Amino acid sequence: MAPMETRAYINGKWVAGQGGQFPVINPATGEQVAMVTDCTQKDVQTAIDAASVAFKSWKKTTVKERSTIMLKIRDLLLQDKRRHELATLLTTEMGKVKNEAFGEVGFAASFLEWFAEESRRQYGETVPVPAASKRFITVKQPAGVAAMITPWNFPIGMIGRKVGAALAAGCTCVLKPAEDTPLIALAFAKLCEEAGVPPGVVNVVPCSRERVQEVGAVLCDSPKIQVLSFTGSTAVGQWLYSRCGNTVKKLSLELGGDAPFIVFPSADLNKTITGAMGAKFRNSGQTCVTANRYFVHESIHDDFVNRFANQMEKELKLGNGLEPGVTQGPLINQKQHARCAELVKEAVSAGAKIVYVGKSIPGPLFYPPTLLTGVTPDNPIARNEIFGPVISVIKFKTEEEVVELANDTDRGLAGYFYSEDNSQIWRVAEAMEVGMVGVNEPFVSTCEVPFGGVKLSGLGKEGSLHGLDEYTHLKLICFGI
């Protein structure tokens, strides 16, 4: 594998931050992968200043010029050897299995391609006038410097989605990667450098967990930053939302989910079990759109549970994501592992029953896939985002009842249901209080469609033609004639 870059990338230069270094740990082995630059508030301010200066020229480039550079980044991501190296690095620092990591690199590339092409269709409008002496047009213009705080669970996928949209719109970027996964972000910066991204247009400022809040405060408080995009927990999103009030930035927040997965009596159980596995076990359950609560009609409950347990036994293998045949890697860190274990313990204490537990293996961060039944809607595990390979199954009787239960949460990112009843499909899809609905389908995210939630799951949309709107201002130009 190519040498890893561990320094910050600011204004087109690789620099050692002023806060020393912090370790990156392989969650599968517990071994140290690298020591990475720990950026301070001063380092981040330097990056903001560089991005602000670079914006003056980057915003004036044509969409064709920006598109050409972005497609070069895409091509670098998709070079076969490079893609495998990036996937290996991603698995090493994050823990997800290699084939999923390989797919994520492609996922990131898809957004560079999509927004490179979509940038050439940022059309304005001509508006009918109320008076003969006037003419109206609207134009879309880049908002300014964009700050981005990316998560550890899709550390390059989310960079592709955010940076792709920002660059296409004509914005410059200051990127703060998750403290658990900074190496893949720095590798992405190297590709930007290689593709000819001008100095200051993309800046990457990693920092340790101890400095996260102070670095976030600089990004929120700076008047030079006009957009802040964040993917992560609801609690952090709320803090960022509040902190940005004084500078009135544009905010794009993709926060925690509590996705329901409903199985109606008419569902094709073979398709449903396949979908149920996909909706839960991708990335060992560590995704914001992971199915969090499984609602199964009482008439098929036992059959569903038996089939699900058998499929878990058949498909799931716990281990180091770099080893062949492994489908479930470790959880990201000890805090997440302890949280998952505590939720299961509380669920059982509240009356849930463990009907299946996968094989355990040595290692402090490996959590065996677990299936719980007898869960009630008020059980703690049904009221919290699990973020791990644990399934909680809740019985229901009627469509009206389950829709109400599915919506009984303060979050609304994704929701899934399986049914072969066409009338029911329309009723339930429209009634679910979420930003994205999967009908007989567990995978809803792709570059062509909008991604985002309602309620405390955030605001704004990423991907699709709407993704550019987060990084642009709509300007009216009125002509007197």
Residues labelled as active-site residues: 254, 288
How many CB atoms are located within 10 Å of the residue 276 CB? 26
In this structure, are residues 204 and 187 in contact, taking their beta carbons and an 8 Å threshold? Answer: no
Distance CA 250, CA 414 (A): 23
Q: Answer whether 390's CB lies under 8 Å from 343's CB.
A: yes
| 254, 165 Cβ separation under 8 angstroms | no
Closest CA to 235 of 216, 260, 250, 263: 216
Collapsing DSSP states into helix, strand and coil, what is residue 148? strand
d(Cα 80, Cα 362) in Å, to the nearest integer?
Answer: 33
Contact 160, 148 (CB under 8 A): no
For 375-407, letters b (16+ CB in 10 Å) and e give bebebbbbebbbbbbbbbbbbbeebeebbebbe
Q: Pseudo-torsion of CA 209, 213, 216, 222, nearest 10°? A: -140
**Residues 293, 382: contact at Cβ < 8 Å?**
yes
Q: Mapping DSSP to helix (H, G, I), strand (E, B) and coil, where does residue 253 land?
A: strand
Burial class (CB in 10 A: 0-12, 13-18, 19+), 330: buried
The structure tokens listed for 256 are 């925690």
Q: What is the Cα–Cα distance from 172 to 222, expressed in whole angstroms?
A: 14
> How far apart, in whole angstroms, are the C-alpha atoms of residue 284 and residue 95?
9
Q: Is the distance from CB of 146 to CB of 462 less than 8 angstroms?
A: no
**Nearest one of 28, 41, 74 to 220, comparing CA atoms:** 41
